[in-house]
Amino acid sequence: MSSAMASTSANLEPLFSFLSTSYATLEQTFNRIPGSAVIARYVKSSHQNDPGRTLLELFLAAFAIWTLLQSRTRADKDDRHFIKFTEKEIDELVNEWTPEPLAEPLSPEEQKELESVPVIVGAQGPRPKLNTGKTVLNFTGTNFTGLAGNEGIKEKAIETLRKYGLGSCGPPGFYGTVDVHVQLEHDIADFLGTEDAILYAQGYSTISSVIPAFAKRGDIIVADRGVNFAIQKGIQISRSTVRWFDHNDLKSLEDVLQGIAKERKKKKAPLTKMFIVTEGIFEKDGVMTDLPKLIELKYKYKYRLILDESISFGSVGRTGRGLTELFNVPASQVDMLVGSVANGLASCGGFCAGSKYVVYHQRINSSAFVFSASMPPLLSVSASEGVNILRNTPSILSTLQENIRTVRGILDKLDCITIPSHPASAMIHIYIRTPTPTLQIPTGSGKPSNPTSIHPRDPPTFDIETEERLLQDVVDEALAQGVLITRARRLRGQEMVEARPSIRLAVSAAFSKKECEKAANVVKAALVKVLGKRR
């Protein structure tokens, strides 16, 4: 027993000597630190004067460390909602848990919906061939200017391919800024008359990244109730305070702006960034914003304007510059002018035009720009060539407007439908006219809607399922007659406000007047046939 003790202490001998030497070195090092004597003296004297104080200081130090460590552990565990389980209970809970399937298989209706998507075999354009073998007049493609299939653009694209390859293989920050991108940015800025522009690789992702690049938590966004899905998502990501105004109602906008100003004055709220977010021509229904009035309001209430011209850029104005050209407003007055290269210039991607600083800010802070590869150079050159063609060929836009007039001239007379779209909009939406006109009559007292909610006070009522079914019948009927049109596809259940079901015609400058007449008459006949049966 005692020998065991002795051997243990012998074993521990090196440990003891190690401890004593390390203590000595520690003391030495401590003494060597400049100012250590002061600390030692302070601790000694404070302990002499009042041993309780040493204890208190130690306690305080321990508390400080504890608090520091506390913030690093997760808050949940100390949450009063946290339940402590034993290992066994956890295992049981894990075994019991059955997740929902990752995705429900499609219902027959959804399957049908998916199968009703037309597939084009070969080149996209005004007269493509479908997988059924049928050649149709295509009123679905966003080929407003008819640049798709342009031989000059194809040649340029091939030339670029042979010099640059296809992919850019990198984000703009890391050797993905190719000279042709810089050129297109310059071309667009020059075309619109802004200081600078920035390119994104996808049209849809442009605005949903531009909004959160500027609007942050605590900032104020005033947005139209009818904005498209991409804007809704951008606003959601931004986490800003949102106020809504009635769809395309600038009177309502002014009321909301006044309300905010009043509220802020009362609260003495600090100055924050304030934005008006709306569309030039609305993707949902083709309605056009009164830009001059909007600009006036923006200056009056000191807001910045984020304008989505994804539909209007390349489809209105003398040469397709969009709303700013149509209303003769300098584009520099729109703070962030967002457009789609994919729609307007029949290529791919999107852009945001604005002042030098607005663009520079996005180059560092806009996630869809920073974290994405830049667009393939040949598509960028195609778009540059598109700008060039639009600039030099005003007849494209006059043909387009002429075609729109032709189509509208035939469809406007029809009494089974309503067309909300602006007469100049190349995107024509067709609603079924409801038998009882509940749509327009305000049932309430005419009070303004609540600006904190996206839902208007008197929402229009419509039966989505029936209307979609009827409209699909119209689409099928038109297709049988050789005209390809489509329902506006919506993510039902994901949009903040359900859009009214509509048929969406996209008119192109590539059609002849005859073709437009033919197509409009086919659509008209299909509408009459399907909707006439209903009554």
Partner 1 sequence: MSTAASYLSAVKAADARARARGETPVATPALSFSSSVTTSSEDTILDDGEVVSSDALSYPTIPPTSEQVFSTVHTEFGHCANAEYRYTSQHPAGTPVKPHIEQDPPYYVLFTTYVSYIILILFGHVRDFTRKYFNPGEFKHLIPHDGYAPITSDFDSFYTRRLKARIDDCFSYPVTGVAGRTIVLNERKSKDYNRTFYSTGRKVRALNISSYNYLGFAQARGGCADAVEESIRRYGVSACGTRLEGGSLDLHAQAEALVARFIGQEDALICSMGFATNSTIIPALVGKGCLVVSDELNHASIRFGVRLSGANVRMFKHNDMNALEDLLKEAISQGQPKTHRPWKKILIIVEGLFSMEGTMTNLPVLLELKKKYKFYLFIDEAHSVGALGPHGRGVADYFGVDPRSIDILMGTFTKSFGAAGGYISGSKAVVDRIRVRSHSHAYAEAMTPPVLTQIIASMASIMGVAPALPTHGSTGTITKGRIVEQESPEPYPGRAPASILPSWMDLPPAMREGTEGRDRLRRLAFNSRYLSRALEKLGFIVYGHDDSPIVPLLIFNPGKMALFHRLMLQSNTPIVIVVVAYPATPLVTSRVRFCVSAAHTKADIDVVLKACDWIGDVLDLKHAPGERWSLEKITSNAVELVRMESQKHA
Q: Which of residues 328-347 bind partner 1 (CB under 8 A)?
A: 340, 342-343, 346-347
Residue found under tokens 């600006």: 451
Q: In the 3-class helix/strand/coil scheme, how is 318-345 assigned residue by residue?
A: CCCCCHHHHCCCCHHHCCEEEEEHHHHC
Shortest gap between Cβ of 235 and partner 1 (angstroms)? 11
Residues 224-253 that bind partner 1 (CB under 8 A): 228-230, 233, 236-237
Shortest gap between Cβ of 141 and partner 1 (angstroms)? 4
Q: Kindly state whether residue 94 participates in binding partner 1, applying the rule CB under 8 A.
A: yes
Q: Of 191, 192, 214, 531, which one interacts with partner 1 (CB under 8 A)?
A: 214
Q: What is each CA distance from 116 to 112, 125, 143, 164, in whole angstroms? A: 6, 20, 21, 38
Residues 504-533 that bind partner 1 (CB under 8 A): 504, 506
d(CA 291, CA 534): 40
Residues 252-291 that bind partner 1 (CB under 8 A): 271-274
Residues 100-159 that bind partner 1 (CB under 8 A): 100-106, 110-111, 113-115, 117-125, 131, 138, 140-143, 147-150, 153-154, 157-158
For partner 1, which is the closer residue by CB, 246 or 477?
A: 477
Q: Are 258 and 266 in contact (CB under 8 A)?
A: no
Q: Kindly state whether residue 323 participates in binding partner 1, applying the rule CB under 8 A.
A: no
Q: Of 379, 483, 509, 522, which one interacts with partner 1 (CB under 8 A)?
A: 379
Q: What is each CA distance from 7 to 2, 21, 499, 501, in whole angstroms? A: 9, 22, 87, 91
d(CA 286, CA 353): 22
User: With contacts defined by CB under 8 A, how many residues of the chain interact with partner 1?
Assistant: 118
Q: Of 26, 56, 93, 480, which one interacts with partner 1 (CB under 8 A)?
A: 93
Beta strands 274-279 and 220-224: pairing type?
Answer: parallel
Q: What is each CA distance from 159 to 19, 124, 314, 378, 389, in whole angstroms? A: 78, 21, 25, 8, 17
Shortest gap between Cβ of 384 and partner 1 (angstroms)? 12
For partner 1, which is the closer residue by CB, 27 or 91?
A: 91
Q: Kindly state whether residue 426 participates in binding partner 1, applying the rule CB under 8 A.
A: no
Shortest gap between Cβ of 45 and partner 1 (angstroms)? 33
For partner 1, which is the closer residue by CB, 219 or 467?
A: 219
Q: What is each CA distance from 490 to 26, 278, 287, in whole angstroms? A: 72, 19, 17
CB-based burial label for 196 (10 Å; 0-12, 13-18, 19+): buried
For partner 1, which is the closer residue by CB, 192 or 215?
A: 215
For partner 1, which is the closer residue by CB, 148 or 516?
A: 148
Shortest gap between Cβ of 436 and partner 1 (angstroms)? 30
Residues 27-86 that bind partner 1 (CB under 8 A): 76, 81-83, 85
Shortest gap between Cβ of 397 and partner 1 (angstroms)? 18
User: What single-letter amino acid sits at 164?
Assistant: Y
Shortest gap between Cβ of 489 and partner 1 (angstroms)? 4
Q: What is the DSSP string of 62-76?
A: HHHHHHHHHHHS-GG
d(CA 334, CA 432): 35
Shortest gap between Cβ of 460 and partner 1 (angstroms)? 22
Residue 385-404 contact track with partner 1, rule CB under 8 A, x = bound? --------------------
Q: Are 468 and 498 in contact (CB under 8 A)?
A: no
Shortest gap between Cβ of 458 and partner 1 (angstroms)? 27
Residues 156-195 that bind partner 1 (CB under 8 A): 157-158, 161-170, 172-180, 182
d(CA 222, CA 303): 9
Q: What angle (nearest 5°) sits at the alpha carbon of residue 23, between those of residues 21 and 24?
A: 65
